[in-house]
Amino acid sequence: MQQKTQLSNGLTVVSERVPELRSCSLGIWCGAGSRFESDQQAGLSHFLEHMFFKGTASRTAYDIAVTMDSVGGQLNAFTDREHTCYYARVMDRHMPMALDILSDMVNHSLFEEEEIEREKGVVLEEIKMYEDTPDDQVFELFNRGFYQTHALGRPIIGYSERVNSLTRQDLVDYVNQRYHPGNLMIAAAGQLDHDQLVELVEKYFRDARPNGGPPPGNPAPTPGQHRSVYHKACEQTYLCLGAPGIAYVDPRRYTMLVLDSVLGGCMSSRLFQEIREKRGLVYSVSTIQTALSDCGTFGVFAGTSAEKVPEVIKVARDIFAEVGSQGITDEELERAKELLKGALALNLESTSSRMMRIARNNLYFGRFVPVEETIEKIESVTHAEVKELAGWLLDPKRYSLAALGPVTEVDGVEAQPLPESYATTGKNAQ
């Protein structure tokens, strides 16, 4: 059973009762993602995610960790482009305790100066880790060129210079702007009672921050086409070929999922079979898809030796051209549908997946999307719909390129040294 309640303070509570499971997953979702940050705030949403674990008025960071570990629970968080989520997974009888901790973190974190300075060191090391991971870095270079100066073009984690300059007041101001009931959602799934959940939420959010009105948004930009090639001393060259995709709420979403599966979303996909299995050109190759509230991206990622780059790009483009002009086969269509339905069924066995599903459904669509409706939408995808979407999506004139590795040029574009300032400020990496 799925239920939804909006409290008088504007906070939304959604839940799904799954009586056959013994676990319960809870998430506090906030409309605080990297796309809503100013240039000077770059990385602030992610830094706050860290700081909410560093102690409240009634609990130290150690207390938070020990309490969850003592009941075998899991506590974590993530920041993406549009949301930050703090979540826990516990046995059903420990649900009230988990909500107590999560709400305490969100409502009563202290943001002590000493903890802020210590955590800056942690995040700076995290940034260095990403800089040492070229397959992650090439995505950031792609986004930087694709979205240019828009916030979507910046790494979620931010830049070291910006992180170093953050002050306690920056954190407090951003929290007051974003972390109020009207911009929060509590989602829960598992063995739970919705009325009890609502009662607990009312108790723990009684002294929540006052609503400050709708926080400022940041309209999607018009992506810029670009080809960016950077030299880096590593073993492989990492490629990202991408173009504008579709938004999360686009009615073609299920057609996109089918097309994505056929092209590069599984081991039987065209890209995987042709580029890896038949030609042995790569270890990693896959499609990439990002769907946000009002925009998206779609493309292909691959990592290969420098001398194999031209062939990998050519084969990927040939596959895109063939599917864009001819569509997909009956076998591919049916296999993709079964893959998607199977993945959905497996995810339903996890309370964490169920919690995230009902949260995103309500955040993006404003309602629960029944599993039966999702299956029906998948099954209703036709050849004609896939071919029409592929013809638009896979048009080679729409594609941008980012490459990073031990190369002098890629696809006719001369490689440039990666500016040191990219890691610190993000400048000069367009």
Structure tokens at 216: 């400022």
- To the query of whether residue 49 is one of the catalytic residues in this protein, the response is yes
Rounded Cα gap, residues 182 and 31, in angstroms: 10
Task: Specify if 29 maps to a domain.
Answer: yes
Same domain, 292 and 395: yes
- Sign (positive/negative) of CA torsion 370, 376, 377, 378? positive
The structural domain count of the chain equals: 2
Supply angle C-alpha 147, 153, 156, rounded to 5. Answer: 155
Rounded Cα gap, residues 318 and 320, in angstroms: 5
Same domain, 191 and 327: no
Same domain, 179 and 322: no
Catalytic residue among 16, 20, 37, 49: 49
Task: Specify if 215 maps to a domain.
Answer: no
Type and span of the H or E element at 143: helix 134-147
Same domain, 175 and 241: no
Task: Specify if 349 maps to a domain.
Answer: yes
Confidence of residue 212 (pLDDT cuts 50, 70, 90): confident
What is the domain range of residue 312? Answer: 227-424
Bridge partners (DSSP) listed for residue 28:
86, 186
What's the number of CA atoms in the CB half-sphere (13 Å) around residue 86? 24
Instruction: Please tell me the predicted confidence (pLDDT) of residue 14.
Output: 99
CB atoms within 10 A of CB 24: 29
Same domain, 232 and 194: no
Q: pLDDT tens across 350-371, in order? A: 999 999 999 999 999 999 999 9
Rounded Cα gap, residues 293 and 174, in angstroms: 21
Task: Specify if 214 maps to a domain.
Answer: no
DSSP state at residue 266: S
Q: 300 Cβ partners below 8 Å, 6+ apart?
A: 239, 240, 241, 242, 263, 264, 271, 285, 286, 287, 288, 316, 320
Is the per-residue pLDDT at 213 higher than 80? no
Q: pLDDT tens across 39-87, in order? A: 999 999 999 999 999 999 999 999 999 999 999 999 999 999 999 999 9
Type and span of the H or E element at 91: strand 84-91
CATH number of the domain residue 365 falls in: 3.30.830.10
**Is the pTM higher than 0.85?**
yes
